[in-house]
């Protein structure tokens, strides 16, 4: 188990906002949320990509300037969840977000009910979000790094960007850190 606990804690909105600033998804990124739960991280980050809700044309300008077609400039997001009920909940939440037009049409989201330790295609990931216990981070790290950006479909020289919540990778130095106030744990700042 990557995140053994009796009570499931969903990622707080304040932490998702901080993660989204670090992640800064770009055209052709492939984002993985390992242990996606109800899909809130994927939905929240995807909804922030909307040109209208962001109030700028940054995404439009990048794709136009690079001369890429809409099909080539998509962002893929993949949620991995081991619990079938949570995976189904995430799928339903993603579907509702599409229907409500909270997710832009250039974002493709897939939720997989799978054991994250058995996923074989992390090599396509350019970005990963992890809310795992230290033991889980230790177990997933070699899987993420072993195939990091070796897919022929990933931009050449793209670096795998990883954002963690609550704990970092052992023996790695964070490029940036931000403490977030969480509503469900008074006085805590993770």
Q: State the Cα–Cα distance between residues 116 and 136, nearest whole angstrom.
A: 10
Which pLDDT score is estimated for 158?
58
- How confident is the model over 40-97, as pLDDT tens digits? 999 999 998 855 333 344 544 444 444 444 555 789 999 999 999 999 999 999 999 9
- Tell me which residue of 175, 178, 163, 190 sits closest to 12, measured CA to CA: 190
Structure tokens at 46: 């995807």
183 alpha-carbon distance from chain centroid: 22
Q: What is the 3-state secondary structure (H, E, C) of 76-113?
A: EEEEEECCHHHHHHHHHHHHHHHHCCCCCCCEEEEEEE
Q: Phi/psi of residue 113, each to 5°?
A: -90, 100
Contact 111, 83 (CB under 8 A): no
Residue 3: strand, helix, or coil: coil
132-182 per-position pLDDT tens digit: 888 888 999 999 887 654 544 444 445 788 888 877 887 877 787 777 777
Question: Residue 187, SS3?
Answer: coil
Q: End-to-end CA distance of the chain, in Å?
A: 22
Whether residue 120 is predicted with pLDDT greater than 90 in this model: the reply is no
Q: Which residue has the tokens 């074989």?
A: 120
Residue 16 CA, distance from chain mean position: 9
pLDDT band at 3 (very low <50, low <70, confident <90, very high): low
């Amino acid at each position: 188990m990557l995140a053994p606990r009796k009570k499931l804690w969903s990622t707080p909105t304040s932490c998702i906002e901080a993660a989204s600033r670090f992640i800064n998804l770009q055209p052709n990124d492939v984002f993985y949320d390992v242990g996606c739960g109800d899909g809130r991280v994927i939905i929240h980050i995807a909804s922030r990509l909307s040109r209208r809700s962001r109030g700028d044309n940054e995404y439009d300008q990048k794709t136009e300037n690079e001369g890429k077609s809409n099909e080539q400039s998509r962002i893929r997001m993949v949620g991995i969840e081991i619990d079938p009920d949570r995976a189904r909940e995430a799928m339903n939440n993603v579907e509702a977000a599409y229907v409500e037009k909270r997710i832009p049409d250039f974002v493709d989201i897939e939720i997989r009910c799978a054991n994250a330790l058995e996923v074989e295609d992390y090599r396509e990931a350019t970005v990963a979000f992890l809310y795992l216990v230290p033991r889980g981070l230790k177990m997933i790290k070699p899987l993420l790094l072993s195939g990091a950006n070796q897919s022929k479909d990933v931009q050449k020289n793209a670096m795998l960007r990883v954002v963690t919540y609550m704990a970092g990778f052992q023996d790695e130095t964070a490029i940036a850190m931000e403490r977030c106030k969480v509503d469900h744990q008074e006085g805590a700042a993770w």
